[in-house]
């Protein structure tokens, strides 16, 4: 019997999601035994025209990592969607926008100005910016368009499954391959992780303690048995889906929220703000202002992985 055909692709990605697949170590050989990898830019030299030549629907499973930042990402997402029976948003960037979507707090004009003109290492007195079309010595050069706003994969094409994580843990990757190979995938639309919050899975002692101060992780050595949030360290556990094996909590570090919002929560950042507000002791305006000031990067703390998928989606800027 023919092996299922699998494609893997990276869009606006750091490469970590692809490395997570390689982190299956010797089990990658088991994966290669049960599926036929037909496209994987990081590892195998296939070109886009090879994918274009495939029949529509001829790829059984596409694991797509990275957010949609450029017209190339959008084009390949649509191409792989057409060629694939099952499309999976693989990793926090594809699912929620992830770290690249923090750029939605600014826009293309500001990013280009910073990157190509204002950065101290630049010598760009003519304020030259990349163009989508240019001509050099009679040769036409084309670059993808850099979008103003970073999008999630599902904001561009239909997606059957979501595998969260930055990157997804190896045990979930192996489980998905096994479920797929044995025809046991969950109902379409499923997030392949836990249906509980991370707090529900966390075994640290919770004492319903109120906090009076926010600490950054390097400012305090937390008790490894007690809830980090109740020790004043912002931990995204109350607003994050479980299933990662509590990777950060086990290392005595707070959760950053890479598994996205738990079921029923549409805005991870808003949920986290409300969870922190509920354990903060102090009702006076001065006390609240003090605590808010202690969160040095509120946007990055509350929307580190989920801005593109949040109710905000992006910061509203003049002219954007
Ligand atoms: S989810 Fe994390 S590991 Fe994967 S591409 Fe995004 S930043 Fe990298
Ligand atoms: S806030 Fe963090 S440390 Fe506290 S119970 Fe939740 S996951 Fe555990
Ligand atoms: S503890 Fe939070 S940030 Fe760390 S891996 Fe799990 S979900 Fe991601």
Q: What is the pLDDT of residues 149-163, one digit of tens each?
A: 999 999 999 999 999
Chain segment 258-273, per-residue pLDDT in tens: 999 999 999 999 999 9
Please give the distance, rounded to the nearest whole angstrom, from the Cα atom of residue 91 to the centre of ligand 3: 12
Radius of gyration from C-alpha coordinates of the chain: 22
88: left (phi over 0), alpha (psi -120 to 50) or beta: beta
Query: If you take atom 4 of ligand 2, which residue's CA is the nearest one?
Result: 227
pTM: 0.94
Lowest-confidence range among 1-15, 116-130, 211-225, 280-294?
Answer: 280-294
Q: Is the CB of 204 under 6 A from ligand 2?
A: yes
Distance between CA 115 and CA 136 in Å, rounded?
Answer: 22
Contact 145, 69 (CB under 8 A): no
Q: Is the CB of 234 under 6 A from ligand 3?
A: no
């Amino acid at each position: 019997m023919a092996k299922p055909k699998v494609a893997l692709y990276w869009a606006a990605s750091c490469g970590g999601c692809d490395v997570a697949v390689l982190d299956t170590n010797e089990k990658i050989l088991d994966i290669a035994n049960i599926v036929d990898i037909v496209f994987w830019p990081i590892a195998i030299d296939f070109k886009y025209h090879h994918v274009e030549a495939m029949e529509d629907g001829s790829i059984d499973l596409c694991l797509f990592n990275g957010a949609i930042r450029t017209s190339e990402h959008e084009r390949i997402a649509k191409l792989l969607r057409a060629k694939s029976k099952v499309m999976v948003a693989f990793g926090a960037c594809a699912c929620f926008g992830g770290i690249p979507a923090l750029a939605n707090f600014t826009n293309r004009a500001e990013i280009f100005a910073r990157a190509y003109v204002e950065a101290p290492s630049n010598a760009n007195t003519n304020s030259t910016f990349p163009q989508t079309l240019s001509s050099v010595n009679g040769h036409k050069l084309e670059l993808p368009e850099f979008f103003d706003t970073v999008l999630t994969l599902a904001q561009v094409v239909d997606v059957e499954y979501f595998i969260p994580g930055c990157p997804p843990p190896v045990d979930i990757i192996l489980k998905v391959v096994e479920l797929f190979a044995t025809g046991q995938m969950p109902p379409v639309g499923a997030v392949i992780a836990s249906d509980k919050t991370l707090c529900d899975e966390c075994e640290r002692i919770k004492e319903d303690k109120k906090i009076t101060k926010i600490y950054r992780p390097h400012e305090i050595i937390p008790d490894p048995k007690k809830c980090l949030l109740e020790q004043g360290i912002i931990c995204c556990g109350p607003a994050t889906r479980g299933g990662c094996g509590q990777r950060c909590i086990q290392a005595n570090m707070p959760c950053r929220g890479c598994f996205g919002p738990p079921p029923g929560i549409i805005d991870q950042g808003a949920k986290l703000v409300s969870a922190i507000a509920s354990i903060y002791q102090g009702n006076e305006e001065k006390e609240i202002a003090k605590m808010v000031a202690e969160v040095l990067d509120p946007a990055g703390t509350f929307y580190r992985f989920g801005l593109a998928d949040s109710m905000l989606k992006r910061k509203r800027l003049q002219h954007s």
